[in-house]
Amino acid sequence: MKLALLWLLGVVLVASGSVWAYMQHPKFGDLPTGEHLSLLKTSPNYRDGQFQNLIDTPMFTQDQSFMSVLFENLTADSAQLRPEQAIPAQPLDFHALDPDEDLVIWLGHSSFYLQLAGKRILIDPVFSDYAAPVPFVVRAFDGTSRYTATDLPAIDYLLITHDHWDHLDYASIQALQPKVDQVITSQGVGGYLRSWGYVSSRQPRSWVPKRSFRLM
């Protein structure tokens, strides 16, 4: 009995150590410290040690707790959640596009490439096959992982809306870094980018689009 308990303890320690070591990967980002944390605290929306939503999230302001919502998501019917066939996608040479033509190109999920008023804009680029910290869950639909950072031209503005795995992808952001002029994002996401090698010394320039889009 004692030997079995020691064996079980050893397994738990090894598993815990493995998880801890994996969590040190830079894709998980860093908690804000020092000057970055001081900057966050100056925001009027930062209270009680965290940012507060200006508008309540309905699912968490009713009677349900976070754990109950998580349980519902995990136990919900998973039938017909994926298309039976690959998403149709048209091959495109981004480098051959006229930079002065206004257009919008959907890259899959929430990723978009825009050209507007002579500027190239990339929104929430995820070129990986999985939108999760481990490569066997949240697999992208077939046909939506056609492009990579190599396929894109220089990007004037990289817009990151938030830090969920299906919007902020470490591998994609790292591969895009040499092509990106400026990043537009929140203070919290900016902490990820700083730890991934992006610099925050440049200030965004004023820019007002004057032309309409062409959808593709």
Strand 155-159 to strand 50-51: parallel, antiparallel, or no bridges (unpaired)?
A: unpaired
Residue 179 has pLDDT above 90, yes or no: yes
Cα–Cα dist 99/106, whole Å:
17
Residue 207 pLDDT grade (very low, low, confident, very high; cuts 50, 70, 90): very low
Residue 208 pLDDT grade (very low, low, confident, very high; cuts 50, 70, 90): very low
Residue 204 has pLDDT above 70, yes or no: no
Task: Considering only CA atoms, give the Rg of the chain.
Answer: 21
pTM for the predicted model, two decimal places: 0.79
Task: Give how far Cα 188 sits from Cα of 4, 20, 55, 90, 214, Å.
Answer: 45, 22, 18, 35, 32
Strand 103-108 to strand 111-116: parallel, antiparallel, or no bridges (unpaired)?
A: antiparallel
Residue 161 has pLDDT above 50, yes or no: yes
- Rounded to 10 deg, the angle between the 187-195 and 34-41 helix axes is 170
